[in-house]
Structure formats: C-alpha cells, structure tokens
Amino acid sequence: MTQTADPITEPHQRELGEIIEAYNLVTERLERSHVRLTEEVARLHRQLEEKNRELARKERLAALGEMAAGVAHEVRNPLGAIQLYASMLDQDLRSLPEAQRLVRKIASAVTSLDGIVNDILAFAGHERLAIQPLALARVIEDVMGLTAPQRDALNGTIHVSEAAADAFVRADEREVTRALVNLVFNALDAAGSGGQVWLDAVDAGAGQIGIVVADDGPGIPADLRQRIFNPFFTTKDTGTGLGLSIVHRIAEAHGGRVEVGDRPDGGAAFTMVLPAAAPVWTEEEKEQA
C-alpha cells in the first residue's frame, strides 16, 4: 500500500528546515564575527603593548636626556678652563718643543671631550625648533660639504637622486642637517673604502616624505635593529654611540620617525620620515629655474 504525505506535517517540516537553515546561517555569521573580533582585539592588544613600550622608552630617554644634559653642562665649564690654560701653555712653551707637543695632546683630548659633550647636548635636545618649509637640496648641499673629508679619505661616492634634490619638508634646517650628517657619516663608514652611498626621497604617505640614506656595506644584522637607536649603543671601537639616537630624537621632534631596513642590492637603508611641504622658492632659485 502506497503511503501518502501528511498534508499537515509537510508544511511544518519545511518551516522547521527553513528555521534550522536560518539558524545555521546566523551561527556561521556569529562565528565569523567572533573570529574577526578576536583577531581585532589581539591586534589592538599588540598595538597597545607597542605604544606602552614606546611611551616607556620615551620616558626613559627623557630622564636620561635630562641627566646627561646636566652632566654635560657641568663638564663643559672645566673643559673650557683646561682648553684655555692649555692654549696659554702652548704659547709659553714655544722654546720647548717636546713639552709643547704634550700640551697639544692635552688640547686635542679636550677637543674630543668637547665633541662628546656636544653630542650629549644634541641628544638631550632642548633647543626650540624653527620649523619652516625647507628645500632638501639646501640641506644636502651642506651635508655634502660637512662629510667631504670622510668621503675623500675613504675614496667613497655619494649619489643624490633627483627626487631628493627636488623634495621639500617642514623642518628645522639645522637639526635635519645634523641628522643627515650623522646618517651619511655612518653610511660612508659602513660602505668602507671605495664604497657607495645613495641619498633619495620617497613618498611616505599621510603627507610625509621619507629621506633615504643607503649604502653598499654589510647591512645591519636583524638582532641589532631594535638596539641601534638606543643611546650609547655602538658596535664601533670609537664614538659615543649617540649618532643614531640623535637622528631618532630629531625625527620624533618633527612628528616623524626613523626606520632601518635592507638595501635591495645589499647594504643598509635608513629612512627618516618628515612632514612634507609645498615647494617654496627663493628669488635666487626662481631666477636660476
């Protein structure tokens, strides 16, 4: 005997199937939403931890900068006196060449110490910034002149791209020049004898310009990249270890940042990101254009 469908049960089964299907769809959406929310919470948690680390680092550096600046100011006064007395002795000992040579060694050592004091004060960074639209070409011209002795001593080459020569930033000219001089000095040193250094500018997005200083040296090991911007950290036999810390401080003071990476063809690439500016030409530059 053939069994016929129950006319009452069949609509109920369809409704139940639709309800179950809808329930499954809602459950899947909730699961996907839960996964997305979990991932977003984890991302925000990582971001918060990173911001907390950055804040803690800035607080430590600020405290260190205050202490270092105080020490530097206290050291500078007696250094000035030693330099003065050494200069007077140098004049008095003209008839005693051997003694004069020793005095000049003292004067040279004082000059080196004064350089360290200047680095410490630059790291402390208490100067008020004179922010203005700035042609990067002007800064690069000064940087090329200041780094020429080291470039010539190493028989190195510095290449400047058109993008770098044409870029404009909103910055303090003296501070940005100091930062780029430090980066170029490091690049020349890393590239070594006959090495190559490149200066370039790239669009960093969000109204910012990235000034890139790259070299064909051995590059920066991955395990050192989180430490190289720490004050007094250095892998060299000489120097204070403040050069990159000063670059980092200057970039942050302008609302920017400094990053380190690999040059595609080998070597290191440091990028200092600064606010971009619209081109502003002097009358002399307009006439030359």
**Are residues 137 and 272 located together in one domain of the fold?**
yes
Q: What is the pLDDT of residues 61-70, one digit of tens each?
A: 666 666 666 7
pLDDT at residue 1 in the model: 47
Across 189-198, 206-215, 222-231, least confident range? 222-231
pLDDT at residue 186 in the model: 92
- CA separation for the pair 210, 45 (Å, rounded): 28
Q: Which residue among 96, 126, 156 closes a domain? A: 126
Domain membership of residue 288 (yes or no) is no
Q: Is 28 a residue whose pLDDT tops 80?
A: yes
Domain membership of residue 289 (yes or no) is no
Domain that holds residue 25: 1-126
Q: What is the pLDDT of residues 133-146, one digit of tens each?
A: 999 999 999 999 99
pLDDT at residue 15 in the model: 77
Contacts (Cβ under 8 Å, ≥6 apart) of 260: 220, 225, 228, 268, 269, 270, 271
* Distance set, CA 172 to CA 62, 179, 243, 271 (Å): 20, 11, 18, 17
Domain membership of residue 275 (yes or no) is yes
Give percent above pLDDT 90 in the chain. 36
**Are residues 37 and 120 located together in one domain of the fold?**
yes
Domain membership of residue 2 (yes or no) is yes
Query: pTM here?
Result: 0.65
pLDDT at residue 204 in the model: 93
User: How many structural domains is the chain composed of?
Assistant: 2
Domain membership of residue 208 (yes or no) is yes
pLDDT at residue 235 in the model: 74
**Are residues 115 and 178 located together in one domain of the fold?**
no
pLDDT at residue 228 in the model: 84
DSSP secondary structure, 18-56, as one string: HHHHHHHHHHHHHHHHHHHHHHHHHHHHHHHHHHHHHHH
pLDDT at residue 282 in the model: 61
Q: Which residue among 97, 126, 155 closes a domain? A: 126
pLDDT at residue 125 in the model: 66
**Are residues 139 and 232 located together in one domain of the fold?**
yes
Across 18-32, 36-50, 63-77, 224-238, least confident range? 63-77
- CA separation for the pair 231, 217 (Å, rounded): 23
pLDDT at residue 6 in the model: 55
Q: What is the pLDDT of residues 136-183, one digit of tens each?
A: 999 999 999 999 999 999 999 999 999 999 999 999 999 999 999 999
pLDDT at residue 133 in the model: 93
Residue 284: strand pairing partners: none
Q: Is 229 a residue whose pLDDT tops 90?
A: no
**Are residues 56 and 189 located together in one domain of the fold?**
no
Give the CATH number of the domain where residue 159 resides: 3.30.565.10
Q: How many CA atoms lie less than 13 Å away from 173 in the CB half-sphere? A: 11
**Are residues 177 and 117 located together in one domain of the fold?**
no
Confidence class for position 109, pLDDT limits 50, 70, 90: confident
Residue that is written with structure tokens 């997005």 in the block: 205
- Mean pLDDT, the chain, integer: 84
The residue type of 285 is E
**Are residues 88 and 191 located together in one domain of the fold?**
no
pLDDT at residue 170 in the model: 94
